[in-house]
């Protein structure tokens, strides 16, 4: 699947990985987080966006996103679970590439478009459990900018 970088255009998974490593190696003493977040918006069909962000803590970030369209999904529960599954898929691929290439120390976290306020509060326990049970850190609103800011920007 193709990702889009606002500065570099279309990239495949390997190109995204290489760009992340290049970004990190430019300042190897800095602290980095790799953030994966997904969001969706239902119209005639449902648009899912998954964002990959590499954040140099305290300095800035780069991001990449991909769009995927599915039939219209009206069930909020189903949409949120699918968003989480898309994020897990990419997080797993990235974590595997990092581990295979000596970067297993990179902190990968998944940002979820759920929070303690609103219709998604009932899903927090299940979705966070699914993410943590898969070996990743999970962040929810208001700390989930990967999903609620970056991915959300491209669902419209």
DSSP for 51-112 reads: EEEEEETTTEEEEEEEEEEEE----HHHHHHHHHHHHHHHHHHHHHHHHHTT-TTSEEEEE-
How much is the pLDDT for 107?
A: 84
Q: Give the CA angle between residues 116, 117, 121 to the nearest 5°.
A: 50
User: What is the model's pLDDT at position 25?
Assistant: 93
Q: Residue ranges per domain, the chain?
A: 3-153
3-153 topology per CATH: Nucleotidyltransferase; domain 5 (3.30.420)
The reported pLDDT for the residue numbered 73 is 95
pLDDT of residue 156: 87
Per-residue pLDDT of the chain (156 residues; tens, 9 = 90+): 799 999 999 999 999 999 999 999 999 999 999 999 999 999 999 999 999 999 999 999 999 999 999 999 999 999 999 999 999 999 999 999 999 989 988 989 999 999 999 999 999 999 999 999 999 999 999 999 999 999 999 998
0.85 surpassed by pTM: yes
């Amino acid at each position: 699947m193709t990702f889009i970088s606002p500065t570099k255009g279309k990239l495949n998974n390997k190109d995204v990985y290489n760009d992340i490593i290049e970004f990190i190696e430019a300042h190897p003493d800095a602290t980095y987080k790799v953030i994966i977040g997904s969001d969706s918006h239902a119209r005639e069909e449902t648009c899912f966006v998954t964002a990959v962000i590499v954040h140099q803590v305290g300095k800035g970030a780069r991001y990449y996103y991909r769009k995927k369209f599915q039939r219209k999904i009206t069930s909020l529960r189903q949409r949120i679970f699918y968003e989480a599954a898309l994020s897990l898929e990419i997080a797993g691929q990235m974590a595997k590439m990092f581990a295979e290439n000596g970067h297993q120390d990179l902190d990968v976290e998944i940002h979820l478009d759920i929070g303690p306020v609103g219709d998604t509060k009932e899903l927090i326990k299940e979705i966070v459990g699914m993410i943590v049970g898969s070996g990743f850190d999970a962040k929810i609103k208001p700390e989930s900018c990967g999903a609620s800011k970056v991915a959300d920007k491209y669902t419209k």
